[in-house]
Structure 1
């Protein structure tokens, strides 16, 4: 299992002060731990529409464009977590009514065309997360 490298003081100070130009000079290995933060910064609508802010966003996008794992982070950050949480709560209530282990009816997983593993491999990130949560709830119900 790979060990997570700590954020260097230089990178920490740069992200703390929003020093985009210092971040642009860092190696990919140095900024890997803060990639979710940078992706989030690039996705949210800016409150500041000044030239400096727009230039900073362009630099962030330039930094992120060369890193392959960023696409996965964007997909995960695009998930509608409040709706997913509501579905998990409905799923828990449904499983309590049906006696826990029954997976026939499910709010999280509908229309399972292939086997679970194949469905997971072929699905988008939201569907993968739904499959994972459904399986976790099934395991939790079996432990109780």
Structure 2
């Protein structure tokens, strides 16, 4: 009986390792929930910038993806600003972090930024005053966060 239980444990462990190496979407922690869909093939990073002014004097967005890093550098950006970035899950640890730096226009009294990762707010900040800069950053790392 022990030999059968030990053998079943070895088979289950090998199947789990093979599924991890293959990037299986059927694992409970993969977000796939056993169903394949286009949204489970990518992580979604959303960036939002708001202010009481019509424009931000400067905006910098960095989505640090291993396969396809994406960047926005703009001056005199119309607000509210929002953009969605998709990061493929084709590689281990596909996203290492995101950054938003937004500088308020001269007619602003405040500016806010927000980073949303797969529907969850992971960073937000508010800066007060004309010319103030709101900085939002989320670094992703292996292990406990």
Q: Going by fraction, where is helix more abundant, 1 or 2? A: 1
TM range (shorter): under 0.3
The normalised TM-score by structure 1 is: 0.23
Where relative contact order (Cα < 8 A, 6+ residues apart) is larger, the structure is 2
